[in-house]
Structure 1
């Protein structure tokens, strides 16, 4: 005799949702179903299971209405019994533990309703109906109807009606024609002007800094977008962790509306430690110290120090870098920044050995929301050894650049583009047969978001560079172009692509061209994978005129954190050259580009 095994409390179950024929509705039903989302995380007994199913029926009705199905029906059956079946609880309690109880969800959408008329009740500008951004005969989706209310409220405030109030929309169903009449009741009030502008929360930040960035004043017409732009400008100074606005709820004695900016200052000092590894450059460790508000006007003082080139296959010894950087925002005028830096570096590479002291004074200016221009002067003194020959170089560079940046993130961009053309004349005071040469570069990257949440991204990168005014061996070795490594062609050792000496070490060239295509796919919440192909060539003379193209390909893994993705890339050289290894590995913070 076989004794059946009865289910204990909690009771296992399976869930099936019948397809409705509307893919968007099917997905919304699945996403809102707690019977599915809590099935494994929070097992339940009979009473809680039925309560969960009843709550889901209400959620399904909300989903139907949100998409315009106002006559839809939703039913949940447990073990083929409706939820109001008196014997349902006993059925659940005395069901065998295996197989689990079956839960069936059936949703009948019914007719899709459309908007017949839109009306606004109240005294409003003649253009107000257009601000709803809804059209007659559009699907009567609850979400769109509610969003139209918010758009109308925002538009009224944008046109000076700061105290306007738009009530919840009222809908009248017309079952005979499957239509819906929608009305909005509005109390617009009168147009108002800005009252007193107040800033609260200042401590170490000087009030003058805020005054420079506030471009609204008492007595000006109230305009919501102007207030928001000023809030964003204050946030962009970098000295505040948050900037909020609080608009007065009533007019002051002058019949104007006061506005308050509430700021929270960032910690004045910050310290960071970092590490990275690649098979070509080895391990590196870095430290960073920053004063974000040195003199009270958002000045930054940054100190960096790092040990590099520990054990890489393209290195011959351990290197270091030490740097001090001062940044003065709003130098002489708004949106203009002064950068002053001093650094010392040591590099021991297969390409060359270098000891250098570098300086730079750079003036950058934000020209538009996306374009930034820069011009500077950069003196440097270096000693470089290549192919057994050592030379001292004293150089003065005059970099001129433009940068277009519409990306949405520094470490993990998913949309937008970056384009950077630059021209850098270099005057060689010592160490070269030619007094002056010019380095020209054009780099670009773009990011195509295949989904609105940035989960599938196609990233493209390219670089063109050319040097005129000097022969290849008249150029300091560190000013020549090299290919290979994370920044150009992965899978090849750092700086290995291009002309070579007889011993296989790189010579460097006068021109470079590289291109990358990379596909990035998020998996779950914190993980991701990438696949990429890089290609590039380094020419000894004219751009694209000579030099063998090298191609690398690989895959990578990403772990997404709150401060940026951790990167692991594995790359192979597709068409190897004499000095390339069999593979390269790269580990770091942030995407490769």
Structure 2
């Protein structure tokens, strides 16, 4: 739809309105096929508006009609195209339509340069030249001309416009709809209109200005503000358009009583604690919408709505009505993944939402792992239960807990373990989050033919920064940075005389994304350079004093592609057995290119090393490179990467394949 100024001259325009489609004529005879050509004006936005407005063009292949109905469609075409011209600021334009028989021996006569209100002209038996929305008594002649076209022969409709001069905005006035005086607005509210004298008189810009002003008024607490459709005055002598906006600001209001409707299993007290708007604060739609979205993010509602609770102010406030529709409480799903190093993993999961009435979530997962894979020696399993409790002890502080049993049969070691861990996460500042937890692990590990049992207690502490603006972790980032810093003090109690050890695992990783649109060589979000860096160190104990699963390894999609999982770092002779180390450093660069709408490709290079001392940047540097394809789905890209090692380790893979959901980083 396009905005339209509907009356010209020095009179007041009836307003800025939206035009609609008028159906005229009846199909009283055999349908007359035709083909339409619409000449370009050389202005992309105007051409788009004209094409969207043209019924001759839109209906030529789907709704063939008889001569009388087609004649009516031609007449209506003038109004529709003139509306499009005026919507783009051209108020003195002329529309030309030529109907002709392409198969006739005589050539079609050219369109005459007539004024918009001149009568139509008919040129013999083979062409009709029309320049008027009214045919002045010749409608029957036009219909007869169409009716005389031989059956089965298409009529050609050639449409063109003369734009005429572009009109600009003249005086822009705000008038209180009650007093007739200029309303009392802040400079920020006046600026929100976004219009200035001399701008092109484009209808949609004028309409948008009123909406922007209304938004600014409501954001300033004017909950009952009204900005009516603007009144426009056309000034042909200066080719300008004067605009008057009727504005009723209304009083500044605070948030009043908040009602909750539709809650069944979710406790109202929990929702009230969760709400980020409170009674008595300034009425601001942006904060009210943020509160609604915050409740939606709990994951227990299929929809959350909010609306003003009264058509008038209530004791200087505006009540709010929140409405809820609770989602299904149970969900069953399946998950699968594959890489040539870790093989395939597949399993099922079951989720219970709103477990205790406060939006808790319990998730049970059972996976079979190690189905093939160059880093695996056999089948394993991973079975765990996750509990998530939002607003633990205070708002925006979440509790996560897991109990897990797993068996992993890597070439590096064979592990059977029971783990219990819990942590609290909360925002620290804008884009910053912190996490503190406790974990206990009882495990049995076989490495190089020797089996040892370990009891490990740890207290992981981490912080993350993310300003990519991507809420869904599977959705690819196109700008910004992600940073993660962590330290995990650990105490390990070994059996069979292995004694105890104290050590601290420290790690940091960062990734950043650069859109090549900033260099003017691509469209936004289509061509991305992504960079990743990782560094880590274990302090307090030597390699052999640390349980094998706590050591540092590299290789695979998380560090260096082209090398199998745990395939980078100290190895046990020329075998496939990785020893692990006490330091790591790795980096990646990746070029991502969207192709068409749903496909993409990537090229990447990774490098990394694992050292036997706690100081990073020592060891044997391994480099891998490769490429991949992407298929973009509504929830994120499906990724398929193939990578090869540049300096392959003894017994290392010649290539590796990775399949996953979301980008590697």
TM-score category of the 2 structures, normalised to the smaller one: 0.7 to 0.9
Query: Contact 1:553–1:574 at 8 Å: present in 2 too?
Result: no
User: 1:129-208 maps to which residues of 2 (within 5 A)?
Assistant: 129-208=190-269
Partner Cα distance (1:311, 1:427) in 2? 34
Offset at residue 163 of structure 1 (A): 1.0
Q: Cα 1:368–1:71, aligned 2, differ >3 Å: closer, same or farther? A: farther
Residue by residue over 1:12-36, the C-alpha shift from the partner in whole angstroms, topping out at 9 and shown as x without a partner, is: 968675360x445556666777888
Offset at residue 184 of structure 1 (A): 0.9
Query: Contact 2:489–2:503 at 8 Å: present in 1 too?
Result: yes
Q: Cα 1:74–1:563, aligned 2, differ >3 Å: closer, same or farther? A: farther
1:124 aligns with 2:188: no
Paired residue secondary structure (1:147): helix
Partner Cα distance (2:32, 2:251) in 1? 61
Partner Cα distance (2:53, 2:565) in 1? 51
Q: Cα 1:331–1:253, aligned 2, differ >3 Å: closer, same or farther? A: closer
Counterpart position of 2:356: 295
User: 1:295-334 maps to which residues of 2 (within 5 A)?
Assistant: 295-334=356-395
Counterpart position of 1:436: 502
Gaps of 5+ in 2: 1-29, 103-107, 109-126, 131-141, 177-182
User: 1:8-157 maps to which residues of 2 (within 5 A)?
Assistant: 18=40, 20=42, 22-25=43-46, 43=62, 45=64, 64-72=85-93, 84=130, 87=145, 94-95=152-153, 106=160, 108-122=162-176, 123-127=183-187, 128-157=189-218
Query: Contact 2:494–2:500 at 8 Å: present in 1 too?
Result: no
Query: Contact 1:459–1:520 at 8 Å: present in 2 too?
Result: no
Paired residue secondary structure (1:153): helix
Residue by residue over 1:135-178, the C-alpha shift from the partner in whole angstroms, topping out at 9 and shown as x without a partner, is: 33333333322222111111111222211110112333334444
Counterpart position of 1:3: none
Query: Contact 1:46–1:92 at 8 Å: present in 2 too?
Result: no
User: 1:409-448 maps to which residues of 2 (within 5 A)?
Assistant: 409-415=472-478, 416-430=480-494, 435-448=501-514
Counterpart position of 1:464: 535
Q: Cα 1:253–1:284, aligned 2, differ >3 Å: closer, same or farther? A: closer
Counterpart position of 1:478: 549
Select which of 408, 411, 422 maps to 1:350. Answer: 411
Q: How many residues matched?
A: 576
1:377 aligns with 2:438: yes
Q: Cα 1:192–1:253, aligned 2, differ >3 Å: closer, same or farther? A: closer
Query: Contact 1:521–1:529 at 8 Å: present in 2 too?
Result: yes
Query: Contact 1:385–1:391 at 8 Å: present in 2 too?
Result: yes
Offset at residue 125 of structure 1 (A): 2.0
- TM-score, normalised to structure 2's length? 0.77
Counterpart position of 1:487: 558
Partner Cα distance (2:641, 2:652) in 1? 17
Q: Cα 1:535–1:216, aligned 2, differ >3 Å: closer, same or farther? A: closer
Paired residue secondary structure (1:313): coil
Partner Cα distance (1:54, 1:544) in 2? 78
Select which of 566, 570, 583 maps to 1:499. Answer: 570
Paired residue secondary structure (1:435): strand
Paired residue secondary structure (1:331): coil
Residue by residue over 1:459-493, the C-alpha shift from the partner in whole angstroms, topping out at 9 and shown as x without a partner, is: 44332223232323333222233232222233332
1:339 aligns with 2:400: yes
Counterpart position of 2:306: 245
Paired residue secondary structure (2:321): strand
Moved more, 30-39 or 486-495: 30-39
Select which of 282, 286, 291 maps to 2:347. Answer: 286
Residue by residue over 1:283-320, the C-alpha shift from the partner in whole angstroms, topping out at 9 and shown as x without a partner, is: 21122211221111111212111111111222110111
Counterpart position of 1:553: 626
Moved more, 242-251 or 433-442: 433-442
Q: Cα 1:54–1:410, aligned 2, differ >3 Å: closer, same or farther? A: farther
1:407 aligns with 2:470: yes
Partner Cα distance (1:400, 1:347) in 2? 26
Offset at residue 400 of structure 1 (A): 0.8
Q: Cα 1:28–1:304, aligned 2, differ >3 Å: closer, same or farther? A: farther
Offset at residue 191 of structure 1 (A): 2.4
Query: Contact 1:268–1:291 at 8 Å: present in 2 too?
Result: yes
Query: Contact 1:425–1:439 at 8 Å: present in 2 too?
Result: yes
Partner Cα distance (1:89, 1:445) in 2? 70
Query: Contact 1:513–1:543 at 8 Å: present in 2 too?
Result: no
Moved more, 293-302 or 362-371: 362-371
Residue by residue over 1:519-571, the C-alpha shift from the partner in whole angstroms, topping out at 9 and shown as x without a partner, is: 141523xx2112120312123133224431412211213141x4443333333
Counterpart position of 1:228: 289
Query: Contact 2:34–2:156 at 8 Å: present in 1 too?
Result: no
Aligned Cα root-mean-square deviation (Å)? 3.5
Query: Contact 2:34–2:157 at 8 Å: present in 1 too?
Result: no
Moved more, 535-544 or 56-65: 56-65
Counterpart position of 2:454: 393
Query: Contact 2:574–2:650 at 8 Å: present in 1 too?
Result: no
Moved more, 277-286 or 497-506: 497-506
Partner Cα distance (2:169, 2:532) in 1? 46
1:521 aligns with 2:594: yes
Partner Cα distance (1:36, 1:388) in 2? 79
Query: Contact 1:513–1:544 at 8 Å: present in 2 too?
Result: no
Query: Contact 2:605–2:624 at 8 Å: present in 1 too?
Result: yes
Query: Contact 2:628–2:639 at 8 Å: present in 1 too?
Result: no
Query: Contact 1:514–1:535 at 8 Å: present in 2 too?
Result: yes
Q: Cα 1:173–1:283, aligned 2, differ >3 Å: closer, same or farther? A: same
1:572 aligns with 2:644: yes
Paired residue secondary structure (1:501): coil
Gaps of 5+ in 1: 1-7
Query: Contact 2:559–2:586 at 8 Å: present in 1 too?
Result: no
Counterpart position of 1:4: none
Offset at residue 88 of structure 1 (A): 5.5
Larger radius of gyration: 2
Paired residue secondary structure (2:209): helix
Paired residue secondary structure (1:567): strand
Residue by residue over 1:115-149, the C-alpha shift from the partner in whole angstroms, topping out at 9 and shown as x without a partner, is: 33321111332434222133333333333222221
Query: Contact 2:94–2:161 at 8 Å: present in 1 too?
Result: yes
Select which of 193, 213, 218 maps to 2:274. Answer: 213
